Amino acid sequence: MGSGDIVGIGFVGLGVMGQPMALNLLRAGYPLTVYNRTAARAAPLAEAGASVAVSPRAVAAASPVVFVNVADDAAVEAVLFGPEGLVHGLAPEAVVVDMGTTSPAATRAFARRLAERGCTLLDAPVSGGEAGARAGTLSIMVGGPQAAFVRVLPLLEVLGRNIVHVGESGAGQVAKACNQIVVSATLMGVAEALTFARRQGVDAARVREALLGGFAYSRILEVHGRRMLAGDYTPGFRARLHQKDLGIVSREAQALNLALPASALAAQLMNALVASGQAEADSSALVQVIEQLCGLAPDKPADS
Amino acid sequence: MGSGDIVGIGFVGLGVMGQPMALNLLRAGYPLTVYNRTAARAAPLAEAGASVAVSPRAVAAASPVVFVNVADDAAVEAVLFGPEGLVHGLAPEAVVVDMGTTSPAATRAFARRLAERGCTLLDAPVSGGEAGARAGTLSIMVGGPQAAFVRVLPLLEVLGRNIVHVGESGAGQVAKACNQIVVSATLMGVAEALTFARRQGVDAARVREALLGGFAYSRILEVHGRRMLAGDYTPGFRARLHQKDLGIVSREAQALNLALPASALAAQLMNALVASGQAEADSSALVQVIEQLCGLAPDKPADS
Amino acid sequence: MGSGDIVGIGFVGLGVMGQPMALNLLRAGYPLTVYNRTAARAAPLAEAGASVAVSPRAVAAASPVVFVNVADDAAVEAVLFGPEGLVHGLAPEAVVVDMGTTSPAATRAFARRLAERGCTLLDAPVSGGEAGARAGTLSIMVGGPQAAFVRVLPLLEVLGRNIVHVGESGAGQVAKACNQIVVSATLMGVAEALTFARRQGVDAARVREALLGGFAYSRILEVHGRRMLAGDYTPGFRARLHQKDLGIVSREAQALNLALPASALAAQLMNALVASGQAEADSSALVQVIEQLCGLAPDKPADS
Amino acid sequence: MGSGDIVGIGFVGLGVMGQPMALNLLRAGYPLTVYNRTAARAAPLAEAGASVAVSPRAVAAASPVVFVNVADDAAVEAVLFGPEGLVHGLAPEAVVVDMGTTSPAATRAFARRLAERGCTLLDAPVSGGEAGARAGTLSIMVGGPQAAFVRVLPLLEVLGRNIVHVGESGAGQVAKACNQIVVSATLMGVAEALTFARRQGVDAARVREALLGGFAYSRILEVHGRRMLAGDYTPGFRARLHQKDLGIVSREAQALNLALPASALAAQLMNALVASGQAEADSSALVQVIEQLCGLAPDKPADS
């Protein structure tokens, strides 16, 4: 499928993730119509050649495929079904691709409501952070009908590299929740290990090196472990977003009667990290909470 | 340094890890003198050409370098300083290499006592499990004097691939404790994520695939995640040994006033796993504890 | 203030708690108008002399003071502001007393919306379970304006014994959340202690007796500890309600960036209890989750 | 039984608990022979009329009943079986009463070794803190043979009020461990609740009052809750001792394959409390760890 098959693409939500993703679609040659609640954030897209619409409804009217990347369940609902929502402009057969992190339960409900009007919702949340959005190297976990997935795959390939159709509607959001569960548990382990080493008087950087070669290897140990050693918490993936995602895990766990003690612990530590004033730091700053608990002053980068 | 520089090698402790390690040294051409408390376990080594000694003391008398791989701090102490211990036979300048998992505090004390007699103790615990011991692909984390490390490095290179001199005496054991902290936290995360996916009605194998391509990647997700999906808990690394190692972490944490909540949680789940009768299973069977808590019958392998 | 000062009382929500509370008001001589979504539950009240209204709006039209005791935030919102909600029938100066467990944030929002119409919302959640509701011995934690509290105090004194005006709107719900935090942590402690004793081969009943005389004394150890020893989990306070309340704590904790690790752990164990099929059991059945984790079959009552 | 039946009493270990206990025995009219490793601590006893012995052995020679109150398992072992230990002076039929907190496993082993010499060890750890020791109002949990318990009961009644013979040897220590499990879990609950209230902007003192009247009542909420509100952490029971006792729980849990997640969490928070410099504070200062995690500066007493 070339760019000719999908005449126009819509993009609603031009935040720290959405803006670089929309730019990548534009640069790949797709005609783009965008909307953002705070209009100023649409300016860089307009300069790069995108049309700016006055509402999600107007985006929908111009686009058989619309990407959405907004903050939370309530924002997705407003974009889809609000008074000026997509639903009022979408053509039958249109596909909406929600790339934000939404709860699986809400996603499934939204998909049903769109299906009643002949449209399709794909849930397609991403992993890879702001850097991955800019570089077009995101991991994308997709839930929803196979046909719609095949139809938008060429567009997703502009945005990311590791694109998996996980299953039915909601399965992408479930995979994203699983991703955040694994990442937060691994962050806790790396944070505790490096703090253990420091308080034992052992060079934590050497310990990390030793561990990278064996079964303890993870990308978190490699990438975020380095951030912890350097004390450099430039995001990356912001603590407040990780906190939000663990809130989704917590609510789903309660709804399904799941006991997830490690995830629940990680959520509390993430709350503590945000409480300490680090909402906008990379979530690997979690190590500071462990350091504090262990009586260590936070690690300082060498020269700053 | 060739095998000529170290005339004879000693090996005390021929358990599931020690036996294949000793065999690898023998196959590499090193003359080997071995001892095991249960004499029968020395038979395969004898058949392969090793000399079998009647005591650690006798091993020491024949070997300027002695490897030790026994169960716990008390067993190491007995091998080193018991009535027929190594210390009564070691030549000055001899090096003892403790490859088991011993507490950092005990290791440092043992090293001091050996140093008083002119000998050197290296702590050199390993990661990689029974398969790694057989294949000679262990990760080895070493603590102790640089000169002794350089001297035994060619021997360690027979046993493993990723060999890091972490620091002073005890630093190898600290790195091993860190390894177990990271591995157990990651196991919890993978176990919770796969159980979350299953209880959401989503194909856990697809979720694992999606996660392998992003920041959630870890060797635990790759290797142990596969075991969890298959329900095949052939060790690998036995639950009772992981439990023992987390006990070391817990005691060191108390001694140094460290709060390590994720490691403490992992220790409790590992206790539960052993209580369920799975002491000899691979520690990735931890997922069964989470499944039980979440109201799932343990996952069954497809056809067995 | 006698029963003459408040001519008619309304009561919406006649579940396991609401029904006995409404009966107690009726027996104390107050003319009562009631409503329940499932009309059959109003029958015992009608037989005892209450008027049965067709909607919350109709209750409000007859009653300057209306009690509400429904399941959750959404149900309170529907009763207050739905198409046939109280708000459409309340006289100015009316007081609504929400005796259910509602989130502090939602309570404050509801109170503001009622205040805009000249009415007052008191949050007055209770502790003491079904037995306390029947006996009129509930603890009642009240938030909202002092004048309204004074006005309804004689009615509250019919329902409970320990009635505290905690503070402004929402403060009653905050106290209730605190109550559930304390109770669930204490339950965990008692459950772990009794299981520890049993697995040590020591008579858990004797241990409980020994502890009752010292600083470990709590009503939970006394009352719920006895239930755990007897294996009798007749509610009491149902596990699914405790689970729901801990969900409120969890969401408030995230909203305010609070790290509450013990409460988060209790929430997971309560999820596990419900997952095991014990949603309707007294929440002290939590001990069964600990017993399971410790490899014990659940304690059986002597003769059944 | 009057004081005449037991001619002389011995007391080894005159620390913060032992000294006031020994004084109470002396004041009750019992002739007392004492020993303390640091001799200066025996001076107040000597002034009050006690004989001071040069070793535990010498105490044993003068006393058919000897109380021991020393720091840990190793210290108990030294007092009992060291070169100048009690065992070398005890008459057959003598009873040793260990009032410190010792691990159940070690206690049972000590009891067996004493029994081989015809002597009896009772484990009789206490709860009630320094104030209870001075006032003679301790709770005492006793394990060991019934006959020996009956024999020393009049002496125990001098020291405490709530004296329970829990069971066989070790049962007293098991009960003490259970006491510390319950107390630490309750402390966590009270700490989290009061912090939750404060961060909600609600008067935590009013919340505590409201909770005291219901099922959340505990002596911890009453006594230690008041300390938390006042920010006054004068012991009481010192954090480092609570930490030590939770270490016993942790080791016993591992030895018996018990999963005790709340106790494990409490142990980590107690480690954090000690790490923060509060080893000598009352263990209710645990609330400071929660406050810190929740972004609150520690509560300050009003004017001091």
Of A167, A199, A218, the last residue of a domain is A167
Alpha carbon distances (Å) from C219 to B252, C159, C190, C208: 36, 21, 11, 12
pLDDT at residue number C304:
36
| Residue C135 near chain D (CB below 8 Å) | no
Give this prediction's pTM: 0.95
Question: Distance between CA B11 and CA B36 in Å, rounded?
Answer: 9
Asked if pLDDT for residue D5 goes beyond 60, the answer is no
Answer yes or no: do C75 and C203 share one domain: no
Kindly state whether residues D223 and D163 are assigned to the same domain: no
Asked whether residue D19 is assigned to any structural domain, the reply reads yes
Domain presence at residue C298: no
Q: CB-based contact (8 Å) between A125 and chain B? A: no
The string of pLDDT tens digits covering residues C169-210 is 999 999 999 999 999 999 999 999 999 999 999 999 999 999
Mean pLDDT confidence for A270-295: 98
Residue A267: which of A240, A228, A288 has the closest Cα? Answer: A240
Q: D108, D138, D181, D237: best mutation site toward chain C, by most C Cβ within 10 Å?
A: D181
Query: Is D293 close to A289, i.e. CB distance below 8 A?
Result: yes
- The pLDDT > 90 percentage for chain A reads 94
CB–CB contact C216 D192 (8 Å): no
Look at residue C304 and tell me if it is in a domain.
no
Instruction: Kindly state whether A78 is in contact with chain B, defined as any CB-CB distance less than 8 angstroms.
Output: no
Task: Round the average pLDDT of chain D to a whole number and report it.
Answer: 94
Under an 8 A CB cutoff, do D174 and C207 touch? yes
Position C205 scores a pLDDT of 98
- Confidence band, pLDDT 50/70/90 cuts, at residue C297: confident
| Res A228: pLDDT | 98
User: What residue in A sits closest to B289 (Cα-Cα)?
Assistant: A259
B104 and chain A: CB distance < 8 Å anywhere? yes
Nearest-angstrom CA–CA distance, C7 and D256? 64
**Closest-CA residue of chain A to D295:** A275
Which chain B residues contact residue C294 at CB under 8 A? 271-272, 275
Same domain, A29 and A144: yes
Instruction: Give the per-residue pLDDT at A6.
Output: 54
- CATH number for the domain spanning A111: value is 3.40.50.720
> Which residues of D are less than 8 Å from B274 in CB distance?
257
The stretch D256-278 carries a mean pLDDT of 98
Please check whether residues A74 and A117 belong to one and the same domain. Answer: yes
Please indicate whether, in this complex, the C-beta atoms of C202 and D174 are within 8 angstroms of each other.
yes
By three-state DSSP, how is residue B121 classified?
strand
Same domain flag for A161 and A193: no
**Which residues fall within 8 angstroms of residue C47, CB to CB, at 6 or more apart?**
none
ipTM: 0.95
Predicted local distance difference test score (pLDDT) of residue A300: 47
Q: How confident is the model at residue A7 (pLDDT cuts 50, 70, 90)?
A: low
The pLDDT of D289-302, averaged and rounded, is 78
Shared domain check, A155 and A21 = yes
Which residue from C minimizes the CA distance to A260? C268
Instruction: Enter the tokens of residue C25.
Output: 């008001």
Q: Residue by residue, what is the 3-state secondary structure of chain A?
A: CCCCCCCCEEEECCCCCHHHHHHHHHHCCCCEEEECCCHHHHHHHHHCCCEECCCHHHHHHHCCEEEECCCCHHHHHHHHHCCCCHHHCCCCCCEEEECCCCCHHHHHHHHHHHHCCCCEEEECCEECHHHHHHHCCEEEEEECCHHHHHHHHHHHHHHEEEEEEEECCCHHHHHHHHHHHHHHHHHHHHHHHHHHHHHCCCCHHHHHHHHHCCCCCEHHHHHHHHHHHHCCCCCCCEHHHHHHHHHHHHHHHHHHCCCCHHHHHHHHHHHHHHHCCCCCCEHHHHHHHHHHHCCCCCCCCCCC
C contact test, residue of D162, D198, D211, D251 with most C CBs within 10 A: D211
Q: Which residues of B touch D260 (CB under 8 A)?
A: 268
Give the closest of C257, C261, C269 to A259, CB-based.
C269
Q: Residue B62 has what pLDDT?
A: 92
Listed in sequence order, the DSSP H helices in B145-260 are 146-159, 171-199, 204-212, 219, 225-230, 239-256
What integer pLDDT is reported at residue C298 of this predicted model?
Answer: 59
| A162 plus A263 within the same structural domain | no
The pLDDT value recorded for residue B297 is: 74
Statement: residue A31 has pLDDT above 50:
yes
DSSP C7-51: --EEEE--STTHHHHHHHHHHTT--EEEE-SSGGGGHHHHHTT-E
For residue B253 the two structure tokens come to 């944490």
Number of domains in chain C: 2
Q: Are residues D19 and D97 in the same domain?
A: yes
Residue A143 contacts residue A77 (beta carbons within 8 Å): no
In this prediction, residue D285 has a pLDDT band, given cuts at 50, 70 and 90, of: very high
CATH number of the domain bearing residue A242: 1.10.1040.10
Question: Is residue C4 very low, low, confident or very high in pLDDT (cuts 50, 70, 90)?
Answer: very low
- How far apart are alpha carbons B181 and B266 in whole angstroms? 8
CB-CB neighbors (< 8 A) of A271 in chain D: 293-294
Q: How far apart are the C-alpha atoms of D261 and B157, rounded to whole Å?
A: 41
Taking contacts as CB-CB distances below 8 angstroms, the residues of chain A near C251 are: 247, 251
Nearest residue on chain C to B261, alpha-carbon basis: C261
pLDDT per position as a tens digit, D72-111: 999 999 999 999 999 999 999 999 999 999 999 999 999 9
- A146-174 pLDDT, tens digit per residue, is 999 999 999 999 999 999 999 999 999 99
Question: Among D112, D133, D168, where does a domain finish?
Answer: D168
Q: Do the chains contact at C261 and A254, CB–CB below 8 Å? A: no
Radius of gyration of chain B (CA): 20
Testing the interface with D: which of C180, C188, C199, C292 to mutate, by most D Cβ within 10 A? C188
Domain assignment of residue B1, yes or no: no
- Expressed as residue numbers, the domain containing B57 is 9-168
Which residue positions in chain B have pLDDT lower than 50? 1-4, 299-304
User: What number is the average pLDDT over the span C118-137?
Assistant: 96
Write out the catalytic residue numbers of B.
Answer: 176
* CA quadruple A112, A113, A114, A118: dihedral, nearest 10: 80
**8 Å CB contact between A272 and A175:** no
For residues B193 and B91, give the distance between their C-alpha atoms in angstroms, rounded to a whole number. 54
Q: Cβ contacts (< 8 Å) between D295 and chain A: which residues?
A: 272, 275-277
**CA–CA distance, D23 with B71 (Å, rounded to integer):** 47
Looking at residue D297, what is its pLDDT? 74
Q: Do A257 and B220 touch (CB under 8 A)?
A: no
Q: Encoding tokens for residue C148?
A: 């309204």
Chain D residues in contact with C173 (beta carbon < 8 A): none
Residue of chain C nearest B293, judged by CA positions? C272
Could you tell me the two tokens for C255? 């909203």
Chain B neighbours (≥3 Cβ pairs under 8 A) are A, C, D
- Within 8 A of D267 by CB-CB distance, chain B residues are 250, 254, 264
Q: Does A294 touch chain D (CB under 8 A)?
A: yes
Chain D, nearest residue to A277 by Cα: D295
Considering the domain boundaries, does residue B2 fall inside one?
no
CB-based contact (8 Å) between A267 and chain C?
A: yes
pLDDT at C215: 94
A229 in contact with D at a CB cutoff of 8 Å?
A: no
B267 and D264 in contact by Cβ < 8 A?
yes
Closest-CA distance of chain C to residue A256, Å:
8
Cβ atoms within 10 Å, residue D283: 30
Q: Within an 8 Å CB–CB cutoff, is residue A277 touching chain C?
A: no
The residue-averaged pLDDT of D150-155 equals 97
> What residue in C sits closest to A273 (Cα-Cα)?
C257
* pLDDT mean over A183-202: 98
Choose among B210, B257, B295: nearest Cβ to A164.
B210
- Tell me the percentage of chain D whose pLDDT exceeds 70: 95
- Smallest Cβ distance to B207: which of A128, A174, A213? A174
What subunits touch chain C, counting only 3 or more CB pairs under 8 A? A, B, D
Range scoring the smallest mean pLDDT among B16-30, C118-132, D2-16 = D2-16
Asked whether residue C183 falls in the same domain as residue C288, the answer is yes
Is D244 noted as a catalytic residue in this protein?
no
Q: Does the residue D257 lie in any domain?
A: yes
**Considering only CB atoms, which chain C residues are within 8 Å of B293?**
268, 271-272, 275, 289, 293
**A289 contact residues in D (CB cutoff 8 A):** 293
Closest to B148 (Cα-Cα) out of B299, B6, B291: B6
Question: Is there a domain that residue D1 lies in?
Answer: no
Residue D301: inside a domain: no
How far, in Å, CA of A91 to CA of A89, rounded? 7
| pLDDT score of A297 | 74
> Do D218 and D69 sit in the same domain of this protein?
no
Query: Using N-to-C axis directions, what is the helix angle for B104-115 and B73-81, rounded to 10°?
Result: 10
- Tell which of A103, A132, A167 closes a domain: A167
Beta bridge partners of B96: B66, B121
Q: What is the mean pLDDT of residues A42-62?
A: 96
A250 to chain D, any CB pair closer than 8 A? The answer is no
Written as one letter, the residue type at B165 is H
Q: Do D293 and A261 touch (CB under 8 A)?
A: no
C59 plus C162 within the same structural domain: yes
Kindly indicate the confidence band of residue D302, based on its pLDDT and cuts at 50, 70 and 90: very low
Q: CA of A217, closest CA in chain B: separation in Å? A: 6
Pair of tokens at residue B189: 């995360």
Q: Are C163 and C179 within one domain? A: no
Please check whether residue D290 touches A, CB under 8 A. no
How many other CB atoms are there within 10 angstroms of residue B206's CB atom? 18
